[in-house]
Amino acid sequence: MRAYQVKNYNVKAQLCSIPTPEPAAGQVRVKIETCGLNFADLLMMKGQYQEKPVLPFIPGMELAGTVDALGPNVTSPSIGTRVAVFSGQGGLAEYGCFGADRCVPLPDDMPFSDAAAFQIAYGTSHMALDHKAGLRRGETLLVLGAAGGVGLTAVQIGKQMGARVIACARGKDKLAVAKEAGADHLIDSDTQDIREAVKALGGANVVYDPIGGEQFTAALRACNPEARILVIGFASGTVPQIPANLLLVKNISVVGLYWGGYLKFSPETLTGSMARLFEWYAEGTLKPHISHSFPFDQLDDAFETLRQRKSTGKVIVTL
């Protein structure tokens, strides 16, 4: 089968031919149709992610396809079932073997493209806003990086949960995407002072931050008393240093979320969250925004689009 394999962190990944795997006990084999790309894939391929796979490895953290073989003692999901899989790695190949308990059957009307763009982005935002921040109807949610892969889903889910959403992104084109997703107010991080703009709108009760750096600092200083700041990632490349005195004076909580970590200590929490998200998808209230779709032999272009931040919403690869 064809696979995109990282053999060394200092050498560019390559499309190559490797044996098609056979599922072990507890696994199913999936014929992969689509794979969603994430900023974390870029970090993982350079050995800079919080989890380092054993070399060589195949990147691709989330995928969708059809079960085509079962490992020993596995009966479900059955052969022929359309599934989405949070794989952590292995999605950029024609076939992959994954734990049966990581496979989520798809709604009948959900195309593979939507499924590959769904799990990490929507799962992260729902867990952050619902489970971690306890976002309440009528509160003001500030979303940084609001046109990105996870940021755009935070805008959608924030509106679904009844919040007033302030979307912060770079440039008119990206802000237009956030507006279409339901944002009530827009801030251009290229031209506006985030702190002053948010304060002029009454301040923030919850901040969703996949960016870090200076934007984190500006958002912190625009928080209302008892605000909750969700640390999702550091796309800026700078991990912010938090002045604890501001947290104390304003009774602010800073809360981290690593969505994939729940697979190790509370997988049922993720399962419940994903079930709710699929309900919203079936109702038509959530729809992934896919700005770019690439064929398998244009993977380098796909990753460059992600690296250069030319995308809005998700970038997917079709196998």
CATH of domain 122-260: 3.40.50.720
Q: Measured between alpha carbons, how far is 215 from 181 in angstroms, rounded to an integer?
A: 21
Angstrom CA distances, 168 to 43, 149, 158, 191, 201, stand at 24, 14, 14, 11, 13
Q: Measured between alpha carbons, how far is 57 from 60 in angstroms, rounded to an integer?
A: 10
Residue 110 has a CB neighbour count (10 Å cut-off) of: 18
Q: Give 247-267 pLDDT, tens digit per residue.
A: 999 999 999 999 988 888 888
Q: Measured between alpha carbons, how far is 151 from 145 in angstroms, rounded to an integer?
A: 5
Pairing type for strands 2-5 and 14-17 reads antiparallel
Query: Count of residues for the chain?
Result: 319
Portions of the chain given CATH number 3.90.180.10: 2-118+288-318
Q: Where are the beta strands (DSSP E) in 170-289?
A: 185-188, 204-209, 223-231, 253-256
What's the pLDDT score for residue 48?
87
pTM score of the predicted model: 0.87
Q: Measured between alpha carbons, how far is 113 from 289 in angstroms, rounded to an integer?
A: 10
What's the pLDDT score for residue 226?
98
| Helix axes of 151-160 and 172-180: crossing angle, nearest 10 degrees | 30
- CATH 3.90.180.10 applies to domain 2-118+288-318: yes
Portions of the chain given CATH number 3.40.50.720: 122-260
Closest CA to 67 of 78, 56, 52, 51: 78
Average pLDDT per 10 consecutive residues for the chain, totaling 319 residues:
94 93 97 95 90 92 97 95 93 96 89 94 96 98 95 97 97 95 97 98 98 97 98 93 94 95 87 88 92 95 92 93
What's the pLDDT score for residue 101?
87
Q: Measured between alpha carbons, how far is 44 from 252 in angstroms, rounded to an integer?
A: 32
Is residue 83 within 8 A of residue 105, CB to CB? The reply is yes
Give DSSP secondary structure letters for 248-280. HHHT-EEEE--GGGHHHH-HHHHHHHHHHHHHH
Q: Give 1-56 pLDDT, tens digit per residue.
A: 999 999 998 888 999 999 999 999 999 999 999 999 998 899 999 998 888 899 99
Q: Residue 59 contacts by C-beta under 8 Å, 6 or more apart in sequence?
A: 4, 6, 13, 41, 44, 45, 89, 91, 92
Q: Measured between alpha carbons, how far is 168 from 144 in angstroms, rounded to an integer?
A: 5
What would you report as the CA-atom Rg of the chain, rounded to the nearest whole angstrom?
A: 20
